[in-house]
Amino acid sequence: MIKSTVLTKESFASEFERCCREYSTLSIACAWCGDPTHILPYSYLERESNNLDIKITTGIFFNQTHPGAISYFIDQEVDIKIFENKIALFHPKVYLFKKSDNAALFIGSSNLTYSGFFNNIEVNMLSEGSIKGEFMQQINKIENDLTYWHSDECSFFPTEQWLTKYHAEYKKKRKQEQENKISSPRDYEESISSSSWLRKANWAIYYQKVLSGLKEKERDEFGYSEVLNAAQDKLPLPWLETYFDNIEKRRIIGGMGKYGRLGHVAASGAFRKFMTSGGRVIKEQAIKAINDICTLEIPLDFKVLERNIDKLISTGHSIKVWSRILAIVRPDIYCTVASPSVRKNLSKTLEMPQNRFEKTMGYIRLLQLIHASPWYNSPPPKIEAELSIWKRRVAFLDAIFY
């Protein structure tokens, strides 16, 4: 039985991502490809998260395809070819998935761009089922077209020399458009915030980004779990003033020694002095604020959160310090911005000045983005290794942005 479905903007991306997981081959023909630094939809195609054998033919008319997209596919060892401009304007948007005797065929208006998957008004049709009868004829027809478009008669492999030249032409064309105030689809694509992936990513993508971050920085989950397990065991809510009297608890709170993941805030002599010899009244103020914040549940009362973060900051230590403490106590809700590298990378992603994260509203804005994201609101995964990170998924943002 063949099932045909007209897809909305929301369902197109989710169905495409599902097919990337369930099928073994994918043939793509599209007019242009967007900037892979937007993460999506490129993360759906990464071989670390699926076993897809991918073949893509893309157009470059008007230098629309981003050079980074071509480099991305070459680096991923994808069979990519560029359709010759001199033959015709290459304008299809076809995505054909196959596995054994089953196929899923997407045909519509969405190019392989963030806008085409998430922002634009697009119409796409998905036909899926066993390859037989009339559906087999349709699949054979489109496969013949895909094969022809990808052949040497129509397309070429992008060599390093060609890519260098194309990159220069792309930059020149983009500069001319900007200088002459000429509008193009790239304007809209490039105006998209690079934080959009964090807003749109599902759990599978977020989890993959965590694993990639750990691998890239030569870290592992154990280092994070050691800190978070210690906090759970030795710093349970409600917090008590006596926590600051115990050297092991101070090591956990301050991120000293083996507890250094999520930020070594005790590197600040001022905060170390606060823990060891701070006044009783100011410690009580901090402890009450921590308890009030960490007993909040989703959806957060952001006015209560704002009021108590301000109380913490009034002790003389910024959100850089207190965010680490919130993250180790409630890693399911709060993240740390203690590390300079985390603030730097978040600044790039969210397009906010780094010092904004040292202020109450900057940190709250980050939490609002996180808590509205699909990956945050996903159901618990069934695989134990994923579940252990999912339960502490906000704190593990550090693994991505460190």
Q: Tell me the per-residue pLDDT of 151-185, one tens digit each, with 9 for 90 and over.
A: 999 999 999 999 999 999 998 888 887 778 777 76
Q: What share of the chain is helix, strand, coil (3-state, %, to 5)?
A: 55, 10, 35
The pLDDT assigned to 198 comes to 85
Sequential DSSP letters for 134-178: HHHHHHHHHHHHHHHHHSTTTEE---HHHHHHHHHHHHHHHHHHH
Alpha-carbon distance of 124 to 93, in angstroms, equals 9
Split at pLDDT 50, 70, 90, the class of 219 is: confident
The tokens for 284 are 């009580």
Residues counted in the chain? 402
Alpha-carbon distance of 315 to 288, in angstroms, equals 12
Domains, the chain, in order of start with CATH, read 3-191 (3.30.870.10), 198-401 (no CATH)
What would the pLDDT profile of 242-299 be if each residue is shown by its tens digit? 999 999 999 999 999 999 999 999 987 899 999 999 899 999 999 999 999 999 999 9
Q: Within a 10 A sphere around the Cβ of 200, how many other Cβ atoms?
A: 20
The pLDDT assigned to 49 comes to 67
The tokens for 226 are 């050691």
Query: Any idea what the Cα angle at residue 182 is, between residues 173 and 29, rounded to 5°?
Result: 60
Q: Which own/partner contact pairs does 140-143 have at CB distance under 8 Å and 24+ positions apart?
A: 142/94, 142/96, 142/105, 142/107, 143/27, 143/96
Which residues are CB-neighbours of 241 under 8 A, at least 6 positions away? 280, 283, 284, 287
Rounded to a whole number of angstroms, the distance between the first and last alpha carbons of the chain is 48
The pLDDT assigned to 57 comes to 98
The tokens for 104 are 């899923």
Residue 346 has pLDDT above 80, yes or no: no
Q: Helix count (H) and strand count (E) of the chain?
A: 18, 8
Alpha-carbon distance of 225 to 261, in angstroms, equals 9
Sequential DSSP letters for 60-112: -GGG-S-HHHHHHHHHTT-EEEEE-TTT-----EEEEEEETTEEEEEEES--B
Split at pLDDT 50, 70, 90, the class of 374 is: very high
CB 124 within 8 A of CB 111: no
More confident residue, 341 or 333: 333
CB 260 within 8 A of CB 308: no
Residue 351 has pLDDT above 80, yes or no: no
The tokens for 238 are 């409600």
The pLDDT assigned to 295 comes to 96
Q: Please state, for a pLDDT cut of 70, what percent of the chain lies above it.
A: 97
The pLDDT assigned to 193 comes to 66
Residue 187 has pLDDT above 80, yes or no: no
Mean confidence (pLDDT) of the chain: 92
What would the pLDDT profile of 39-68 be if each residue is shown by its tens digit? 899 999 987 667 899 999 999 988 889 999
What would the pLDDT profile of 100-139 be if each residue is shown by its tens digit? 999 999 999 999 999 999 989 999 999 999 999 999 999 9
The tokens for 248 are 């092991």
Residue 97 has pLDDT above 90, yes or no: yes
What would the pLDDT profile of 10-27 be if each residue is shown by its tens digit? 799 999 999 999 999 999
Alpha-carbon distance of 177 to 30, in angstroms, equals 23
* Residue 145: HSE in the Cβ half-sphere, 13 Å Cα cutoff: 15
Alpha-carbon distance of 92 to 79, in angstroms, equals 18
Residue 305 has pLDDT above 80, yes or no: yes
Alpha-carbon distance of 95 to 104, in angstroms, equals 8
Alpha-carbon distance of 32 to 295, in angstroms, equals 49
Split at pLDDT 50, 70, 90, the class of 397 is: very high
Alpha-carbon distance of 294 to 280, in angstroms, equals 21
Which residues are CB-neighbours of 181 under 8 A, at least 6 positions away? none
The pLDDT assigned to 63 comes to 84
Q: Within a 10 A sphere around the Cβ of 130, how many other Cβ atoms?
A: 13
